Amino acid sequence: MTLDVQLAHDFGGFALDVEFAAPDGVTVLFGRSGSGKTSVVNAVAGILRPDRGKVMAQGIVLTDTARGLHLPPFRRRIGYVFQEPRLFPHLTVAQNLGFGRWFAPRNAAGASPERIITLLGLEHLLARRPLALSGGEKQRVAIGRAILSKPRLLLMDEPLAALDAARRDEILPYLERLREELGLPILYVSHSAVEVARLATTLVLIEGGRVRKAGPAAQLMADPALAPAFGLRELGAVIRAEVAAHEDDGLTRLTASAGSLWVPHVDMAPGTHLRLRVPASDVTLALRRPEGVSALNILPARITAIRRGDGPGALVQLDCGGELLLARVTQRSVEGMGLAPGMDLYVMLKALSVAPQNMGGD
């Protein structure tokens, strides 16, 4: 395991007691405001010294209260994008960005400053001081500063909350690439199911200072029992697919075990495996194969389970060539269409509703 965390800490009024293990990749801490996410990240960074617990990263013991061991933060080489920017007010943006590089081992692998500056759109801000930056600009500098310190592990506490969708869409793929190219493990705090689907290898659901559930992200996100934790609207399954071909009209054909899927162009070489989030509310069911509709992706499937909610909705779990899909439909449709487990039917997905934000490398 890349990261083993086991912590207990009493804030007086709030008790933290979590335990989880995270393999390589991106581990997302997901939970409501005040559930203890930042506290966990602080403990990994060494800023919070827990009452009891043990934290290991890549085989190195960072904290072990039983042995009275607590590696100081500066020896951990853990980059941390704090929830608030925490820029150094006396340094320019360029100096803030370069701060960590100064202390990093010369020969450590790391991202190139120029690349990061361009990615984060900081070129014209380099000479400024933090006071003269907007909220989102500050946060971007903080992200760059942490990445450029050549960390062994990256902690990101809601790093994109202050950013607009366009900028977020630029940064997310880069974080994926960090994960893949540099093999940089990331512990990521997020409120956003989209970010979770896109980035998370492992998901740790935190509730009231405890781990509600931890495990592979794809599995947890397709678990109807956890739907309320994500928020119903955020629910969706994640399926595996492989890039088959880039076609002339800008679509990319993927092959999943259930058949071919067309999605907007994906910037990955044919043969690449990827993960595709299919939000439950984007799936339409049809009894017969629909003809003459604008939805390009129509796959045969079999109902495995139906779970009626308290409201007007129902969750339909489908086996689609061995992968699990979730569809959120009205109970009226369940009745009207006579849906029942074991029934064969078709799922209909629009090519464009599977937006690039919902895909990530695997």
Partner 1 sequence: MTGWLPPEAATAVWLSLRVSFWATVLSLPLAVLVALLLARGRFPGRGLLNGLVHLPLILPPVVTGYLLLLAFGRNGPVGSWLHEAFGITLAFRWTGAVLAAAVMAFPLTVRAIRLSVEAVDPKLEQAAATLGASRLMVFLTVTLPLILPGVLVGAVLAFAKAMGEFGATITFVSNIPGQTQTLPSAIYAFLSVPGGDEAALRLVLISIAIALGALALAEWLGRVVARRIGAP
Ligand X SMILES: Nc1ncnc2c1ncn2[C@@H]1O[C@H](COP(=O)(O)OP(=O)(O)OP(=O)(O)O)[C@@H](O)[C@H]1O
Given the rule CB under 5 A, which residues bind Mg ion?
Answer: 38, 83, 134-135
* Residue 220: partners with Cβ closer than 8 Å, 6 or more residues away: 203, 205, 213, 214, 226
Tokens of 328: 């959120």
Region binding partner 1 by CB under 8 A among candidate stretches 124-132, 179-187, 202-210, 213-221: 124-132
Tell me if 66 contacts partner 1 by CB under 8 A.
Answer: no
Q: Which residue from 49, 103, 270, 307 is in contact with partner 1, where contact means CB under 8 A? A: 103
Look at residue 222 and give the partner it binds from ligand X, partner 1, a second copy, none, a contact being a CB closer than 5 to 8 Å depending on partner kind.
none
Region binding ligand X by CB under 6 A among candidate stretches 71-79, 110-118, 127-135, 320-328: 127-135
CA-CA-CA-CA dihedral for 117, 42, 199, 216, to nearest 10: 160
Tell me if 163 contacts a second copy by CB under 8 A.
Answer: yes
Q: Site residues for partner 1, window 79-98 (CB under 8 A)?
A: 79-80, 82, 86, 88-90
Q: Site residues for ligand X, window 137-156 (CB under 6 A)?
A: 137
Say how many residues touch ligand X, by CB under 6 A. 19
Region binding a second copy by CB under 8 A among candidate stretches 70-78, 129-137, 212-220, 237-245: 129-137
Look at residue 36 and give the partner it binds from Mg ion, partner 1, ligand X, none, a contact being a CB closer than 5 to 8 Å depending on partner kind.
ligand X
Calculate helix-pair angle for 93-103, 135-148, nearest 10 degrees: 20
Residues in the chain: 362
Q: Site residues for partner 1, window 143-162 (CB under 8 A)?
A: 145-146, 149
Q: Which of 157, 77, 176 is nearest to 119 (CA)?
A: 176
Tokens of 279: 């939000």
Q: Site residues for ligand X, window 217-246 (CB under 6 A)?
A: none
CB closer to Mg ion out of 135 and 231: 135
Region binding partner 1 by CB under 8 A among candidate stretches 129-137, 195-203, 223-231, 323-331: 129-137
Distance between start and end Cα atoms, the chain = 18
**Residue 341 phi, psi (nearest 5):** -55, 145
d(CA 338, CA 185): 47
Q: Which residue from 89, 102, 112, 164 is in contact with a second copy, where contact means CB under 8 A? A: 164
Tell me if 290 contacts a second copy by CB under 8 A.
Answer: yes
Residue 157, number of CB atoms within 10 A of its CB: 22
d(CA 242, CA 67): 47
Q: Which residue from 35, 63, 149, 201 is in contact with ligand X, where contact means CB under 6 A? A: 35
224-256 per-residue burial string, b: 16 or more CB within 10 A, e: under 16 = bebbebbeeebbbbbbebbbbeeeeeebbbbeb
Tell me if 118 contacts a second copy by CB under 8 A.
Answer: no
Radius of gyration of the chain (CA): 22
Sheet with 78-81, side-by-side order of all strands = 69-70, 60-64, 52-57, 3-10, 15-22, 210-216, 202-207, 26-31, 186-190, 153-157, 78-81
DSSP 327: E
Tell me if 136 contacts ligand X by CB under 6 A.
Answer: yes
Q: Contact residues for ligand X (CB under 6 A)?
A: 11-14, 31, 33-39, 83, 132-137
Question: Which residues sit at the interface with partner 1, rule CB under 8 A?
Answer: 45-47, 72-74, 76-80, 82, 86, 88-90, 99-100, 102-104, 129-132, 145-146, 149
